[in-house]
Amino acid sequence: MPKLDTLPANASTDEILTVLKRDGALILKDVLTPDQVAQVLKETLPYIEATPPGEDDFTGRKTTRTGALVARSEAAREMVANKTITEAAQAFLKPFCERIQLHLTQIIRIRPGQPKQQIHRDRWAWGTYITNVEPQFNTIWAITDFTKENGATQVCPGSLDWPDNYEPSDDEIGYAEMSAGSVLIYSGGVFHGGGANNSNGDRIGINITYTLGWLRQEENQYLACPPDIAKTLSPELQALIGYSMGSYALGYYTPPLPPGEGPEIVPPEYALGNADVQAAQFGSEELRAEVSAAIRGEK
């Protein structure tokens, strides 16, 4: 059975990316303190308990999936904005985009008796259309200890080059066994799936995923965290959840106001009360120059 590499919580971006590009997954040990784990669980437990189980085998008939964590939990916001994670995500995804964004937040509680999930790739959220670009940097934060018995995530290290229709054998599947507060990092291209919970307790993990700024997010952050909540967040977190231009000409809007009572074209930041319409123009100066050159036929 293959094993995942485990790095310390203070691992560098280069160390993380070296393993991620080779194996497709790794574990960062004890990123959260026990107090931080307890705090995020305290803030989200009412929502977890109110979440019904899945309605099909893939989502899990004994599994609950609770979202909208940026709006619901201050502790979860700190996890989303964790610098070790976001800096690694930036470095991993930036070759394919100008800006990264939050793709989803979801508490996954695997309850006793839940069978193992079908092995899959998370990049299949967009079908199998994206083949030459890595679209995702994914994390699962252990809020309880993850063991093979209670449903630790199944992972196939080294599966990045496998064809989409490949069916891994048991001896190609490892398990992300880790202590509460640790984080599984994995790419959108690695084969993985939820584990079977054969224990007497819940396995709780928080799935936080980042993606390319020009792709549609799995969790619609504009609805999960609307402007009246988003305007209370830090500018960095506002941009990360999508209140920013995704790239040149991606994400602008026209405020639905009477004729002459508002600007015609503004970036998403305008919805948060940023009256400086020029604060987030259509991409960086370098990108605007590149687009202009392409339009003129110079590239």
Segment 80-126, tens digit of pLDDT: 999 999 999 999 999 999 999 999 999 999 999 999 999 999 999 99
Predicted local confidence at residue 220, as pLDDT: 96
Tokens of 243: 């209140």
Distances (CA, A) of 177 to 16, 70, 145, 293: 18, 26, 8, 50
Cβ neighbourhood burial of 10 (10 Å; 0-12, 13-18, 19+)? exposed
Neighbours of 199 (CB within 10 A): 17
Element of type H or E holding 185? strand 183-187
Q: What is the mean pLDDT of the chain?
A: 92
Tokens of 7: 């790095």
Distances (CA, A) of 102 to 24, 76, 91, 221, 272: 19, 13, 15, 8, 18
Neighbours of 124 (CB within 10 A): 13
Predicted local confidence at residue 18, as pLDDT: 98
CA distance 269 to 263: 13
CA distance 277 to 295: 25
How does pLDDT run across 162-195, given as a tens digit for each residue? 999 999 999 999 999 999 999 999 999 999 999 9
Closest C-alpha to 91, from 155, 18, 30, 158:
18
Closest C-alpha to 194, from 106, 83, 293, 94:
106
Predicted local confidence at residue 12, as pLDDT: 98
pTM: 0.90
Angle formed by the axes of helices 83-93 and 13-23, to 10°?
A: 50
Predicted local confidence at residue 260, as pLDDT: 86
Predicted local confidence at residue 257, as pLDDT: 87
End-to-end CA distance of the chain: 49
Residues of the chain with pLDDT under 70: 275-299
User: Helix (H, G, I), strand (E, B), or coil: what is residue 87?
Assistant: helix
Tell me the domains of the chain and their CATH numbers: 6-212 (2.60.120.620), 244-295 (no CATH)
Q: Which residue has the tokens 């503004």?
A: 266
